[in-house]
A and B are shown apart, each in its own frame.
Chain A
Amino acid sequence: MTSPLLDVCSLKTYFFTPRGLIKAIGGIDFSIGLGRTLALVGESGCGKSMTALSILRLVPEPGKIVEGTISFAGEDLLRLPPTEMRRIRGNQIAMIFQEPMTSLNPVFTVKRQIGEVLELHRGLHGQEQEEEAAALLQQVGIPDARKRLASYPHQLSGGMRQRVVIAMALAGHPQLLIADEPTTALDVTIQAQILELLGELRRSRGMSMLLISHDLGVVAETADRVAIMYAGLIMEAADVAPLFNQPLHPYTRGLLACIPRLGEERQRLVPIPDQVTNAMQYSDGCPFAPRCHEVMHQCREYLPPLQEVAPNHQVRCWKAL
């Protein structure tokens, strides 16, 4: 077995706010193999987006990566000097966001924005640059690619903008694409088109992907492996089929039970009670304990470790051990 493309080890990212310490990521481990897709799943504030920003070393103030290693193609990203890190960002690791307008500059044409990436990361200029930009737009399924190069972002629909952002991300031939809720802002028929496109690109380029999503349907159709996050920790990680078919953590089971499913007999939903505890109020125990209906005495006292309970299936729960 070859070593994974990305290997994150005991990563901790804390926020030092005037009101106290927030452990946005409280020590997580995961890896992504070549050409594989890992989905990070969780509700708002669980630390999934912060994980992506940590990998790119773009954690905003007052946040800081306080511990851990992030090895990418054998190099520890956290030890690289800033200039080296800039070479990797957008080149070997690219990221796309939920709202395409956040990554597009409204006053520049598509040609100029893709051109900038091609110039910085691939050293292309002039005619060559334009050819490559048009080729990229064509690859992401934009009709009339050459004409579209002259468009400004506001002249494009939401789906087209997301395609442009994907084209920009691909411009540097990344080995790893981080996609943070890439289809959440899109209509369902356009979402289906973008997911199809991402799948094709991954297959044809052998690209690995870190998908961040709260949509269990998108995850089931896209990911090879899934990690469920809660309050900055991974609660369960497994390949996609066992995770959906034999979920072991009460939180995973709760998430799967509380979504209405298309085409299934109508039953009352089983919600997870209460809401996520304030990040500053975590005690020493399991952060899910206050909402867990299988909670035991020790859950409130000690944090369970993430342990392998079946081949490639890890769970952080005292009940599962």
Chain B
Amino acid sequence: MNPLLSVRNLTKSFAAAQGPLGGKEQRFRAVDNISFDLAPGETLGLVGESGCGKSTTGRLILRLLEADSGAVFFHGEDLVPMGQKELRPRRRQMQMIFQDPFSSLNPRCKIGDIVAEPLLIHGLATSATVKNLVIELLATVGLGSDILDRYPHEFSGGQRQRIGIARALAVKPELIIADEPVSALDLSIQAQVINLLDDIQQQFGLTYLFISHDLSVVEHLCKRVAVMYLGRIIEIAPAIELYRAPFHPYTEALLQAVPRPIPGRQHKRILLQGEIPSPLFPPAGCHFHPRCIYARPVCRELSPVLVEHAPTRFAACHFAGEFSRNLS
């Protein structure tokens, strides 16, 4: 099957804030030459710690940010060189759900208008038909028609996230990029929204790129998972296998760091030493080597490339095959 989305060698660098005296501009690579495919109907999780470049990747795909180089093929067409006019109909097929339901809804707009706006902009409804469509969309996400004339501040975080999802669904997208969609929600509400994302995927055949730092939520929702570290994808594999036996030492450390709700559990935990290095001065060779307990001399010199070590299992580690890490 042809992939719905193919990202190839995508790279984006930003200028770091300069001091008051200026000086030479320093740039760092937020996203460093990443490639992956997303099949129709699939859910790919993009995980990593803050500053690893996962949100930037989502924004580059939607061209909310412009890439320095690389390609983003959607239905086989490269979006990166397209002009705004060409882009607009494709934008309709790709929607985003944001983390903070408090800042992604215009506080001065009524709920009915917020959900109606994309329908009218993309010519999917007329002013006569729009109201019924909006009511239908709100029903899909579990909200009643009585909220049409109310404002965002009248709703809780979970309800606002539902409204954001209804707005994203309005234009019948094929691909949804969800950037930490449940991280700001309380536990009991988080479960409601996770189930809703599951339901609408089945109902509309959606494809998800699910960006999150929460490894438990990603395991629950995603078929495949890509792990990022300092702008690079260091491992990408089917979720079940990646969680059971990761190939990359960083994936292993991340999984072991997650506290489990099982009291008294004696876990083997390798505590990762040190912190994520500054992206301005990433370590030479493998970016992870200063924190890696398996590091050898070659790791300091040669940057490992992402290669397939077993069918469908890619990892960027010189010794990925050697250390078979079984966490179960």
Chain A residues proximal to chain B, CB less than 8 Å: 43-44, 157, 159-160, 187-193, 195-196, 214-221, 240-241, 243-245, 254-256, 258-263, 266, 268-273, 275-276
**Interface status of B16 (Cβ within 8 A of chain A):** no
Chain B residue at minimum C-beta to C-beta distance from A256: B261
Kindly state whether residue B109 has any CB partner on chain A within 8 Å: no
Please list the 9 inter-chain residue pairs (A to B) with the smallest Cβ-Cβ separation, ordered nearest first: A217-B259, A260-B220, A258-B191, A271-B191, A187-B49, A272-B188, A43-B186, A192-B257, A216-B261
Sample 17 A-B pairs with CB under 8 A, ordered by A number: A188-B215, A189-B253, A192-B256, A215-B259, A216-B187, A216-B261, A220-B259, A220-B262, A220-B263, A220-B265, A244-B263, A259-B261, A260-B216, A262-B216, A268-B198, A271-B188, A275-B159
- Chain B residue numbers with a CB within 8 Å of A216 are 187, 261
Residues of B within 8 A of A255 (CB): 187-188
Residues of B in contact (CB 8 Å), total: 43
CB pair A261–B327 under 8 Å, yes or no, is: no
**A105 CB → nearest B CB, Å:** 21
Among the listed stretches B59-67, B270-278, B295-303, B312-320, which one makes contact with chain A, having 4 or more residues with CB under 8 Å of it? B270-278
- Whether B216 contacts A261 by the Cβ 8 Å rule is yes
Residue from the set A260, A273, A275 with the largest chain B CB neighbour count within 10 Å: A260
CB pair B186–A262 under 8 Å, yes or no, is no
Beyond the given pairs A195-B259, A220-B260, A258-B190, 4 more chain A to chain B contacts, judged by CB atoms under 8 angstroms and listed by A's residue number, are A43-B187, A157-B276, A187-B50, A275-B189
Q: Closest CB-CB distance, A225 to chain B, in whole Å?
A: 11
Interface pair A259/B187, CB less than 8 Å apart? yes
Of the candidates B156, B190, B244, B261, which one forms a contact with A217 in the assembled complex, judged by CB atoms under 8 Å apart?
A: B261
Q: How far apart sit A219 and B296, CA to CA, in the bound complex (Å)? A: 37
Q: Which residues of A contact B191 (CB under 8 A)?
A: 258-259, 269-272
Contact status of A262 and B272, CB under 8 A, knowing A44-B186, A244-B262: no
B126 within 8 A of A: no
1/0 per position for B215-253, CB-CB distance to A under 8 A? 111011000000000000000000000011000000001
A192 touches B188 (CB 8 A): no
Q: Does B195 make an interface contact (CB < 8 A)?
A: yes
**Is the Cβ of A160 less than 8 Å from the Cβ of B198?**
no
- Find residues 77-111 in chain B having any chain A CB closer than 8 Å to their own CB: none
Residues of B with C-beta under 8 A to A219: 261
The reply to whether A271 and B192 form a contact with Cβ atoms under 8 Å apart is yes
Question: Is B269 an interface position by the 8 A CB rule?
Answer: yes
Q: Are B187 and A214 in contact (CB under 8 A)?
A: yes
- A195 CB contacts on chain B under 8 angstroms: 259
Residues of A contacting B50 in the complex (Cβ-Cβ under 8 angstroms): 187
Least distance between B99 CB and chain A CB atoms (Å): 14
Chain B residue, CB-CB nearest to A190: B275
In chain B, residues 119-154, which have Cβ atoms closer than 8 Å to a Cβ of chain A? none
| Beta-carbon contact of A196 and B219 below 8 Å | no
- Contact status of A214 and B186, CB under 8 A, knowing A189-B253, A191-B257, A220-B261: yes
B254 in contact (CB, < 8 A): yes
Query: Considering only CB atoms, which chain B residue lies closest to A160 in the complex?
Result: B275
Contact with A along B47-78 (1 / 0, CB 8 A): 00110000000000000000000000000000
The one of A192, A244, A261, A270 in contact with B272, judged by C-beta atoms closer than 8 angstroms, is A192
CA separation between A87 and B187, bound complex, in Å?
A: 38
State the Cβ distance, A129 to closest chain B Cβ, in Å. 28
| A221 engages B259 (CB within 8 Å) | yes
Verify B213–A188 contact, CB threshold 8 A: yes
Which A residues touch B194, using CB under 8 A? 260, 269
Query: In chain A, what residue has the closest Cβ to B52?
Result: A187
B152-189 with Cβ < 8 A to chain A:
156, 158-159, 186-189
CB-CB < 8 A to B49: which residues of A? 187-190
- In whole angstroms, what is the CA distance A176 to B221 when docked? 40
| Set of chain A residues within 8 Å of B189, measured between Cβ atoms | 43, 271, 275
Point out the residues of chain B lying under 8 angstroms from A256, CB to CB: 261
B311 at the interface (CB under 8 A from A): no
> Would A259 and B216 count as touching, CB distance under 8 A?
yes
Q: Are A258 and B262 in contact (CB under 8 A)?
A: no
Contacts A43-B186, A244-B262, A269-B191 given; does A188 touch B220 at CB 8 Å: no
Closest to B269 in A: A192
Question: Contact at B219–A260, with CB atoms within 8 Å?
Answer: yes
- Select which of B243, B263, B269, B276 is within 8 A of A262 by beta carbon: B243
Given A189-B272, A260-B220, A270-B191, decide whether A275 and B158 contact each other with a Cβ distance below 8 A.
Answer: yes
Q: With a CB–CB cut-off of 8 A, which chain B residues contact A188?
A: 49, 213, 215, 254, 257-258
Residue of chain A at shortest CB distance from B256: A192
Cα(A263)–Cα(B218), bound, Å:
11
Instruction: Check A266–B220 contact: CB distance below 8 A.
Output: yes
- Chain B residues lying within 8 Å of A241, measured Cβ to Cβ, are 263-264
Give the chain A neighbours of B275 by CB distance below 8 A: 157, 159-160, 190
- Against A, the Cβ 8 Å flags (1 = close, 0 = not) of B282-309 are 0000000000000000000000000000
Q: Which of A160, A243, A275 sits near B156, CB closer than 8 Å?
A: A275
Chain A contacts of B215 at CB under 8 A? 188, 262
What are the residues of chain A within 8 A of B4 when measuring CB–CB?
A: none
Given the complex of chains A and B, what is the CA–CA distance between A189 and B269 in angstroms? Answer: 11
Contacts of A191 in B (CB 8 A): 257, 259
Partner pick for B259 among A159, A214, A218, A269, CB 8 A cutoff: A218
**Which single residue of chain B is at the shortest CB-CB distance from A214?**
B187
User: Cβ of B188: which chain A residues have Cβ within 8 Å of it?
Assistant: 43, 254-255, 258, 271-272, 275
A261 to B265, CA, bound (A): 14
Whether the pair B264, A196 counts as a contact (CB closer than 8 A) is: no
Q: A196 — which chain B residues lie within 8 A by C-beta?
A: 271
CA distance A244 to B309 in the complex (A): 39
> Chain A's nearest CB lies how many Å from the CB of B166?
17
Instruction: Please indicate the chain A residues that have their CB under 8 angstroms from the CB of B187 in the complex.
Output: 43, 214, 216, 255, 258-259
Q: Which residue of A lies closest to B222 (CB)?
A: A266
CB-based nearest B residue for A226: B263
Which residues of the partner chain A approach B261 to less than 8 Å between Cβ atoms? 216-217, 219-220, 244, 256, 259, 261
